[in-house]
A and B are shown apart, each in its own frame.
Chain A
Amino acid sequence: MIVGLDMGGTHVDACLIDRGNIVEQAKTPTDRSDLFGSIWETLNSLLSGKDISSIEHINLSTTVSTNAIVEEKTAPVGMIIESGPGMEHSFLSCGQENIFISGYIDHRGREIKAIIPEEIGESVSRFRRKDIKACAVVTKFSIRNPMHEIKIRDMLKDEFYPVTMGHALSGKLNFPRRVFTSYLNSAIYQVFGEFCESFKQALEKEKISVPVNVLKADGGTISMNAAQQYPVFTILSGPAASLMGACAFDPGDKDAVFLDIGGTTTDISFAADGIPLFEPYGISIGHFKTLVRAIYSVSIGLGGDSAVSVEKGEIKIGPRREGFPMALGGPMPTPSDAMIVLGLLNFGQKDRAISAVKNIGEQLGVDAKTAAQAIYEKMGEIIKQKVDNLLADINSRPVYTVKELLYGKRLKPEYVSIIGGPARAMAPVLERKFNLPCRVPENYEVANAVGAALAKITAEITLLADTAAGVLSVPEIGMYERIDRNFTLDMARQKALELLKQRASILGAEGSKIESEITEESSFNMVRGFYTSGKNIRIRAQVKPGLQYELRGGNYA
């Protein structure tokens, strides 16, 4: 059995899954002052009377990291940043102390200018003066050569903890994001660590001895121990959990739109060939853009409780929520009121819903029923329009080869999967607007917990082999070593897949279950003068994203 736990802003949801069947569910309100207590209460209620010896592992999606960042309850961080030539760097000052040092590594990973140890010494004393314990070291092009970051880490590690190194977080090129991601990792290290320790101790006390994995924003997991090293990967895992749940209810290999329609917002995501679509670089949190791999999700201010008004003879819905629907005593008419009038939803006091919608109708010069229908249609239209705009953006993402430009994949959804309170009520209008089948999974209330439960360990690595320089680098594991001039693309593929397996095992995956794949590869002839001097080989490999199991049984409405 697998336990899935998703801690959201208002509720903690949990489920127990046995070979693809949901056997138990639990839900408790979130106590923001005691996140750990809320989780523990939910887990207890889920597992009461169950045979805990048959639990294989616990997958946990938590808002601990997210809340710490959003509420600014983070530790002070000392940043050492080597920015080299390029953009003016002052906008990178994100720590409580920021030291810009003068070394420099170029785009091929060559050391142009060494680090000056005195500058690091000076940084140390400045951190001491401010009583800073957590640090991060980030150098431009460190993913091409991590040696400066490693050297500086070695100089700091006896006195500071943690010392996050930029290259270890992502193999993607983007220095500002690397700086911000490293900062966040160090800033939330302590608060996330404390949470993990309490959780582990509580399990120990209950004599539950099973692996615990933590959900990441990309819809995969890593072991709790790995997450303690890299807590930044656990930010914003909630929408990923819901989407993975929606995928579990509705597995397939098609392009699809996923909608999570709530009271205040609607979250929009997509699947390409059945696999959730990722953000191109990484997710944003607060004012930080990061390199944290994440499922693409866009939130719009439109939900069942959005305020409805009439402006210049047109119905306007959202983006604000002013309170409950009027059927529940709220202040403004809402789409939920309209759907109550139309008989699509059934809660609260219908007469109040009717008078709410009637008021809108009077402004439009129509009766209540017509107004309700118009609001309902409008809500469908807004969602359709937004999805179309997002699709246009996605389908015009930059490409860099003739082949991709002419024949590249275009996302073309074949169905819409909807979860959330008004999901079933909205399905008919969305089906008409999209002219696509709209599906509502039966147990969508626990999609988030199911998604957490069924998520699997994921990892990716980036390999760059420069045979002219005779160097191979894999930043995510800090590898930087010599290679032969005869190193080939095929050897690079083999090596990448091997290293990925090793990495996934370290992150908590069972060796036999790792399914890996190469997602990007290229090999450039390097020519200097009139002769080929080597090859520049670039490979990205990942554990195939997806679920451990598909759900069985009748989970469709």
Chain B
Amino acid sequence: MLKAKNRLGLVFFPAFDWAISPTHPEREERLLYTQDQVFEEGIADVEGIKFINPGLATEKDVQRVHFCVPDVTSRVTESHLISAGGAIKAAEALMEKEVDKAFAIVRPPGHHAQRVVFGDRGFCIINIEAVMLENIRQRYGHRRISIVDTDCHHGDGTQDIYWNDRDTLYISFHQDGRTLYPGTGFIDEFGGPAAMGYNINIPLPPETGEEGFLYVLDNLVMPILEEYKPDIIINSAGQDNHYTDPITNMNFTAQGYAKLNHRLNPDIAVLEGGYSIEGALPYVNLGIILAMAGLDYSHVKEPDYDPGKLKQSPRTTEYIKKLCETIYQRWRKKEDIAREALKTLNGRGYMARIRNIYYDTDGIMEEQTQKFKICPRCSGLNTIHSRSDRGYEIFAVSIPRDACPDCIDEGYKAYKETPKGKYFRIYLQDRVNDAYMSQ
């Protein structure tokens, strides 16, 4: 039998008994044909590939990342806890050195879930990569991480969660927000005051193909990663850039995904979106599995694969080259850009981020103001005022992992002294002491 070059842990959990609704893209059938392909290929028999069952993420795991309104239990189903728990198990196998790499093929996805959770948006309620990452940081110590998100939609949830964290470099490739949900992910969304430059968006034009994606990887992502030197690379492996995906407009392929994964060489991959359940997912997932295991993926091709038809236009190629150059220059000048941004504060001690957030799956609109304190000793305390159009108003205080004693004290003070009557709920998330409370 075959032997994998890299020991690979595979958490494969298709949740065959769970759907958002019977005809929703996020339904029981989603990974059925992927399972057929993975089983038929005999992946389970490859020496060095190990199937691992997911566990359940705990309430505490979710609270390290999110403020669920009113609470975790009422927002999050068992299926979400299993999806995040699957990602945690994959990472755990890696951290325990049982495997060299791990891939969690789980559903539902998570990268649209932001810090505050009123409901489901973009088929996501909790951010499974972030829940995983904070769990392993808590258990195995601090790590410098890069999340490379190759889903076709901008991972606005992951961006929000790591907005002000320079130890988590978030890089997202996606279809330009002017042409696709969630409508964000532009190059000037660059991170909070303590992490400016550590949130990198690469909005690609519709019909970008293999050539474009691999160009971005080789000429922009890899050089940035070489400079950043993360301890762990996580691939948010959405598969909806595929040419057969029903809800996007890109021309990426199974071969392309496998090559991208091979060159990116992530430690952990986690499935995100991807709704071409017959034409793409079986082949893309197989390609990623083989690439991560260090096996030959050159024979993985879709039935209707035709490189001629999928060739990217020279105009697109030109556009992408310029875009990469611009983004790379911004990365190089991130300190200057941060300095300029701080000047505009005119001595205010914080930077505000004001947004309206739409929950498309649940039809909720949220108005939110985040304030990031400018602190010379740490990333700075931050607070969130938020109100949903269902009438719930909340106030949340978050003490970051690297908070200085002053910011910790200030956080507890803010939590205690905020008048209770004004809000539906008040929350405190203390990442220094791994504590969470609400009133």
Could you say which of A339-347, A360-368, A470-478, A526-534 contacts chain B?
A: A526-534
Residue of A89, A399, A401, A522 near B299 (CB, 8 A) is A89
Known contacts A88-B296, A400-B14, A524 near B278 by CB under 8 Å? no
Q: Please, which residues of chain B bring their CB within 8 A of the CB of A281?
A: 44-45
CA of A530 to CA of B247 in the docked complex: distance in angstroms? 12
Minimum C-beta distance from A216 to chain B (A):
21
Q: Is A107 an interface residue (CB 8 A)?
A: yes
CA of A104 to CA of B305 in the docked complex: distance in angstroms? 14
Q: Is B33 an interface residue (CB 8 A)?
A: yes
Could you say which of B15-23, B135-143, B339-347, B429-437 contacts chain A?
A: B15-23
Please name the residue on chain A nearest to B77 by beta carbon. A402
Q: Which residues of B contact A (CB under 8 A)?
A: 1-2, 12-18, 22-23, 27-29, 32-33, 35-37, 39-42, 44-45, 51-54, 78-79, 82, 246, 278, 282-283, 286, 290, 295-296, 298-303
Minimum C-beta distance from A556 to chain B (A):
38
- A175–B41 CB distance below 8 A: yes
- B283–A85 CB distance below 8 A: yes
Q: Please, which residues of chain B bring their CB within 8 A of the CB of A104?
A: 303
- B42–A177 CB distance below 8 A: yes
CA of A13 to CA of B367 in the docked complex: distance in angstroms? 81
CA of A401 to CA of B15 in the docked complex: distance in angstroms? 5
CA of A356 to CA of B192 in the docked complex: distance in angstroms? 76
Minimum C-beta distance from B275 to chain A (A):
10
Residue of A91, A106, A403, A525 near B23 (CB, 8 A) is A525
Q: Is A35 an interface residue (CB 8 A)?
A: no
CA of A403 to CA of B295 in the docked complex: distance in angstroms? 33
Which residues of A from 103 to 132 have beta carbons under 8 Å from B? 104, 106-108, 112
Q: Is A140 an interface residue (CB 8 A)?
A: yes
Chain B interface SS verdict (over half): loop
- B16–A401 CB distance below 8 A: yes
Q: Please, which residues of chain B bring their CB within 8 A of the CB of A530?
A: 23
Q: Please, which residues of chain A bring their CB within 8 A of the CB of B27?
A: 525, 527
Q: Please, which residues of chain A bring their CB within 8 A of the CB of B301?
A: 85
CA of A396 to CA of B50 in the docked complex: distance in angstroms? 12
Q: Please, which residues of chain B bring their CB within 8 A of the CB of A531?
A: 23
Q: Is A398 an interface residue (CB 8 A)?
A: yes
- B295–A87 CB distance below 8 A: yes
Q: Is A405 an interface residue (CB 8 A)?
A: yes
Known contacts A87-B41, A289-B1, A536-B29, A401 near B36 by CB under 8 Å? no
Q: Please, which residues of chain B bring their CB within 8 A of the CB of A529?
A: 246
Q: Please, which residues of chain B bring their CB within 8 A of the CB of A175?
A: 40-42
Q: Is A488 an interface residue (CB 8 A)?
A: no
Residue of B28, B35, B300 near A86 (CB, 8 A) is B300
Minimum C-beta distance from B27 to chain A (A):
7
Minimum C-beta distance from A360 to chain B (A):
36
Q: Is A174 an interface residue (CB 8 A)?
A: yes
Q: Which residues of A contact B (CB under 8 A)?
A: 83, 85-89, 91, 104, 106-108, 112, 140-141, 172-177, 281, 287, 289, 396-403, 405-406, 522, 524-527, 529-532, 536
Q: Please, which residues of chain B bring their CB within 8 A of the CB of A526?
A: 29
CA of A399 to CA of B12 in the docked complex: distance in angstroms? 9
Minimum C-beta distance from B200 to chain A (A):
34
- B45–A289 CB distance below 8 A: yes
Selected A-B contacts with CB under 8 Å, 16 pairs: A85-B301, A86-B37, A87-B300, A88-B295, A89-B299, A107-B33, A140-B40, A172-B39, A173-B36, A281-B44, A287-B1, A289-B45, A397-B53, A400-B12, A402-B18, A402-B79
- B82–A405 CB distance below 8 A: yes
- B78–A402 CB distance below 8 A: yes
CA of A525 to CA of B299 in the docked complex: distance in angstroms? 30
Known contacts A112-B303, A289-B45, A107 near B278 by CB under 8 Å? yes
CA of A244 to CA of B54 in the docked complex: distance in angstroms? 34
- Taking A396-B52, A401-B16, A527-B27 as known contacts, 15 extra A-B pairs with beta carbons closer than 8 A to each other, sorted by chain A number, are A87-B41, A87-B290, A88-B295, A106-B303, A107-B278, A172-B39, A174-B40, A289-B1, A396-B53, A397-B53, A400-B12, A401-B15, A403-B17, A526-B29, A529-B246
Minimum C-beta distance from A141 to chain B (A):
6
Q: Please, which residues of chain A bring their CB within 8 A of the CB of B246?
A: 529
Interface centre among B1, B22, B40, B44 (most CB of A within 10 A): B40
Q: Please, which residues of chain B bring their CB within 8 A of the CB of A107?
A: 33, 36-37, 40, 278, 282
Q: Please, which residues of chain A bring their CB within 8 A of the CB of B39?
A: 172-174
Minimum-distance CB pairs A-B, first 3: A88-B296, A176-B42, A173-B39
Q: Please, which residues of chain B bring their CB within 8 A of the CB of A108?
A: 33, 278
CA of A401 to CA of B17 in the docked complex: distance in angstroms? 6
- A405–B53 CB distance below 8 A: yes
Q: Please, which residues of chain B bring their CB within 8 A of the CB of A85?
A: 283, 299-303
Minimum C-beta distance from A470 to chain B (A):
16
CA of A85 to CA of B283 in the docked complex: distance in angstroms? 9
Q: Please, which residues of chain A bring their CB within 8 A of the CB of B29?
A: 524-527, 536
Q: Please, which residues of chain A bring their CB within 8 A of the CB of B2?
A: 87, 91
CA of A66 to CA of B299 in the docked complex: distance in angstroms? 35
Q: Please, which residues of chain A bring their CB within 8 A of the CB of B32?
A: 524, 536
Q: Please, which residues of chain B bring their CB within 8 A of the CB of A141?
A: 36, 40
Q: Please, which residues of chain B bring their CB within 8 A of the CB of A522?
A: 16
Please name the residue on chain A nearest to B24 by beta carbon. A527
CA of A219 to CA of B335 in the docked complex: distance in angstroms? 72
Minimum C-beta distance from A137 to chain B (A):
17
CA of A281 to CA of B79 in the docked complex: distance in angstroms? 27
- B45–A176 CB distance below 8 A: yes
Minimum C-beta distance from A471 to chain B (A):
15
- A91–B299 CB distance below 8 A: no
- B282–A402 CB distance below 8 A: no
Known contacts A174-B42, A281-B44, A289-B45, A88 near B299 by CB under 8 Å? yes
Q: Please, which residues of chain B bring their CB within 8 A of the CB of A88?
A: 295-296, 298-299
Q: Please, which residues of chain B bring their CB within 8 A of the CB of A398?
A: 12, 51-53
- A177–B41 CB distance below 8 A: no
Known contacts A176-B1, A289-B1, A532 near B78 by CB under 8 Å? no
Known contacts A398-B51, A527-B23, A86 near B41 by CB under 8 Å? yes
Minimum C-beta distance from B312 to chain A (A):
23
- B18–A91 CB distance below 8 A: no
Q: Please, which residues of chain B bring their CB within 8 A of the CB of A91?
A: 1-2
CA of A398 to CA of B105 in the docked complex: distance in angstroms? 13
CA of A172 to CA of B36 in the docked complex: distance in angstroms? 10
Please name the residue on chain A nearest to B85 by beta carbon. A405
Q: Please, which residues of chain A bring their CB within 8 A of the CB of B28?
A: 524-525
Q: Please, which residues of chain A bring their CB within 8 A of the CB of B41?
A: 86-87, 175-176
Minimum C-beta distance from B54 to chain A (A):
7
CA of A85 to CA of B296 in the docked complex: distance in angstroms? 12
Please name the residue on chain B nearest to A175 by beta carbon. B40
Interface centre among B2, B14, B246 (most CB of A within 10 A): B2
Minimum C-beta distance from A206 to chain B (A):
45
Please name the residue on chain B nearest to A524 by beta carbon. B29
Q: Please, which residues of chain A bring their CB within 8 A of the CB of B286?
A: 86-87
- A174–B45 CB distance below 8 A: yes
CA of A89 to CA of B296 in the docked complex: distance in angstroms? 10
CA of A527 to CA of B23 in the docked complex: distance in angstroms? 6
Q: Please, which residues of chain B bring their CB within 8 A of the CB of A524?
A: 16, 28-29, 32
Minimum C-beta distance from A121 to chain B (A):
25
CA of A527 to CA of B12 in the docked complex: distance in angstroms? 22
Interface centre among B35, B42, B51 (most CB of A within 10 A): B42
- A400–B40 CB distance below 8 A: no
Please name the residue on chain B nearest to A179 by beta carbon. B42
Q: Please, which residues of chain B bring their CB within 8 A of the CB of A83?
A: 299
Please name the residue on chain A nearest to B10 by beta carbon. A398
